[in-house]
């Protein structure tokens, strides 16, 4: 019979009360565990989203989108200014141009007269020509203008006696100074190699997979841009039909070919850390002039998704702490009750030679027995509650994230494996209460679990120690005599 077995025995002296305490503790601790799981799951999601966002900002001429329109084009001087802004670790300028099919362009160009309108439409604001034929067919992308044109063509042809020019989607050529896309991520190649020669006279080119298929291009094949013969060094897959209808060329070569030396259509700015993205965005706007440029966190929508997820993360953290504190308070109140009830016993123990420490240890162990039991039952509670809790938190969040991701997807960021997929995976991981332990240990990590356990036990120990020591400090006769 030592202090441990005495404490275990004391924990069950009042079985009804101990049972009730264990149940209440189990609910609080179970909730705390469920919140910990939710917190970690959301945290992991935020991390992966942050990783997919990267630390990039995009600078475009004011009012422009996707390299078209807008005011004054950017220049290499702007790139230098951007590089000087605090927290900027890298600046990649790109020049995006539209290349019309050489044959179509010359046909429409030679039509003259009333066909001028058609000619302009055919060139579609393009700044150069290429031998490539666009893989995107009119209509495929919902080009209603052209659809009307096509159906109107026989009528117009008979009526006006002019041939409506064949409408083609121009091919987007992006001049890059390093093997990255405008969004700052490396292109995924399905064959060949990344660009390596970035000189003005380089003949290297990357061709999108659908464009390559349409024009029967393979690695090593050639085609022309303006007057230069380019050689396909690699075929890329950017994830959607529009992007795969484009080509990537060395920046200097692009500038030379379309006669836009020193001009850039956008800057991709790399920021040292995700935390500084917002501040750097503001600093860049100031440095380059708010009226001249638009600086977008390539990920504005993604960022807001992260923010909303972060809110969920904070809520679950607060709920975790609140549940822990609740558990601690339950232990404290119960131990105050138990100690009051056993004041006389504390007096006797002191009178026959127990130290304050011995008394503190005995009551702390007694509280820990209750807490350990509460934790075991609470883990079972958590096993059944964390599944609905996590899916409620994450599912509620999925709705907002998906709607936030909607426009992003349209903007070309959708390919990053973001959207429904990630959440489905998260939810899948929480399917089934039986997986709880595995899920916690993998998603939360044993360190966090041990930390949580130590936290609960520490709170319980404090809850038991305070009343026990306060009582033990008085003279034995005072507690022996009772109230």
* Best CA proximity match to 411, nearest among 306, 293, 302: 302
> What residues numbered 317-346 form the site for other proteins, per CB under 8 A?
344-345
> In sequence order, what DSSP letters do the residues of 212-251 get, joined into one string?
HHHTT--TT-EEEETTEEEEEEEEE--SSTTGGG-EEEEH
Residues 318 and 325: their CA atoms lie apart, in Å, by: 10
Closer to other proteins by Cβ: residue 15 or 144: 15
Closer to other proteins by Cβ: residue 142 or 353: 353
Beta-carbon neighbour count of residue 198 at 10 Å? Answer: 17
Among 284, 338, 349, 456, binds other proteins (CB under 8 A): 349
In angstroms, how far is the first alpha carbon of the chain from the final one? 30
> In sequence order, what DSSP letters do the residues of 369-382 get, joined into one string?
HHHHHHHHHHHHHH
DSSP code of residue 65: B
Site membership for other proteins, residue 87 (CB under 8 A): no
Q: Pick the stretch among 3-11, 49-57, 230-238, 324-332 that binds other proteins (CB under 8 A).
A: 3-11
Q: What is the closest distance, in whole angstroms, from the C-beta atom of residue 352 to other proteins in the complex? A: 5
Q: What is the closest distance, in whole angstroms, from the C-beta atom of residue 26 to other proteins in the complex? A: 25
Among 62, 317, 348, 402, binds other proteins (CB under 8 A): 348
Site membership for other proteins, residue 8 (CB under 8 A): no
- The sign of the dihedral angle between the CA atoms of 414, 296, 407, 124 is negative
Contact 386, 38 (CB under 8 A): yes
Three-class DSSP category at 176 = strand
Among 142, 220, 353, 410, binds other proteins (CB under 8 A): 353
Q: What is the closest distance, in whole angstroms, from the C-beta atom of residue 388 to other proteins in the complex? A: 42
Q: Pick the stretch among 21-29, 31-39, 93-101, 470-478 that binds other proteins (CB under 8 A).
A: 470-478
Among 286, 314, 355, 441, binds other proteins (CB under 8 A): 355
Among 143, 224, 356, 448, binds other proteins (CB under 8 A): 356
Residues 142 and 144: their CA atoms lie apart, in Å, by: 6
Q: Pick the stretch among 178-186, 355-363, 393-401, 412-420 that binds other proteins (CB under 8 A).
A: 355-363
Three-class DSSP category at 130 = strand
Among 8, 9, 51, 470, binds other proteins (CB under 8 A): 9
CA atoms within 13 A on the CB side of 482: 2
Site membership for other proteins, residue 3 (CB under 8 A): yes
Site membership for other proteins, residue 358 (CB under 8 A): yes
Closer to other proteins by Cβ: residue 275 or 478: 478
Among 317, 380, 469, 480, binds other proteins (CB under 8 A): 480
CA angle 465, 376, 1 (to 5 degrees): 55
Note the residues at the interface with other proteins (CB under 8 A). Answer: 1-3, 6, 9-10, 13, 344-345, 347-356, 358, 473, 475-478, 480
């Amino acid at each position: 019979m030592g202090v441990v077995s005495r404490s275990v025995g004391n924990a069950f002296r009042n079985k009804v009360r101990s049972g009730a305490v264990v149940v209440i503790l189990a609910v609080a601790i179970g909730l705390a565990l469920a919140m910990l799981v939710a917190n970690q799951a959301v945290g992991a999601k935020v991390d992966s989203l942050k990783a997919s966002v990267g630390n990039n900002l995009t600078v475009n001429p004011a009012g422009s989108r996707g390299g078209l329109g807008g005011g004054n084009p950017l220049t290499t001087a702007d790139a230098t200014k951007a590089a000087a802004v605090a927290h900027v670790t890298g600046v990649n300028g790109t020049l995006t141009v539209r290349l019309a099919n050489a044959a179509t362009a010359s046909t429409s160009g030679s039509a003259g007269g009333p066909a001028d309108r058609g000619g302009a439409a055919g060139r579609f604001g393009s700044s150069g020509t290429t031998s490539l034929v666009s893989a995107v067919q009119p209509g495929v992308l919902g080009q209603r203008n052209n659809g009307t044109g096509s159906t109107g063509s026989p009528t117009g042809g008979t009526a006006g006696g002019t041939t409506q020019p064949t409408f083609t989607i121009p091919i987007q050529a992006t001049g890059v100074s390093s093997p990255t896309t405008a969004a700052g991520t490396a292109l995924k190649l399905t064959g060949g190699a990344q660009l390596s020669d970035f000189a003005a006279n380089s003949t290297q080119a990357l061709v999108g997979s659908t464009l390559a298929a349409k024009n029967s291009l393979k690695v090593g094949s050639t085609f022309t841009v303006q007057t230069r013969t380019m050689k396909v060094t690699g075929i890329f897959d950017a994830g959607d039909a529009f992007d795969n209808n484009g080509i990537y060329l060395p920046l200097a070569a692009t500038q030379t070919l379309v006669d836009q030396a020193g001009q850039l259509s956008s800057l991709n700015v790399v920021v040292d850390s995700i935390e500084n993205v917002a501040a750097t965005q503001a600093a860049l706007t100031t440095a380059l002039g708010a009226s001249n440029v638009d600086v977008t966190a390539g990920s504005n929508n993604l960022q807001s998704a992260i923010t909303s997820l972060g809110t969920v993360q904070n809520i679950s953290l607060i709920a975790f702490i609140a549940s822990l504190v609740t558990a601690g308070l339950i232990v404290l109140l119960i131990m105050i009750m138990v100690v009051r009830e056993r004041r006389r016993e504390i007096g006797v123990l002191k009178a026959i030679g127990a130290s304050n420490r011995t008394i503190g240890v005995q009551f702390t162990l007694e509280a820990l027995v209750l807490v350990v039991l509460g934790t075991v039952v609470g883990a079972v509670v958590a096993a059944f509650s964390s599944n609905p809790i996590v899916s409620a938190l994450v599912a509620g969040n999925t709705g907002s994230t998906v709607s936030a991701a909607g426009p992003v997807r349209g903007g070309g960021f959708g390919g990053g494996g973001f959207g429904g997929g990630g959440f489905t995976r998260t939810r899948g991981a929480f399917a089934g209460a039986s997986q709880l332990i595995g899920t916690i240990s993998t998603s939360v990590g044993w360190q966090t679990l041990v930390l949580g356990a130590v936290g609960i036990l520490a709170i319980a120990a404090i809850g038991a120690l305070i009343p026990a020591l306060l009582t033990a400090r008085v003279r034995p006769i005072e507690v022996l005599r009772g109230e």
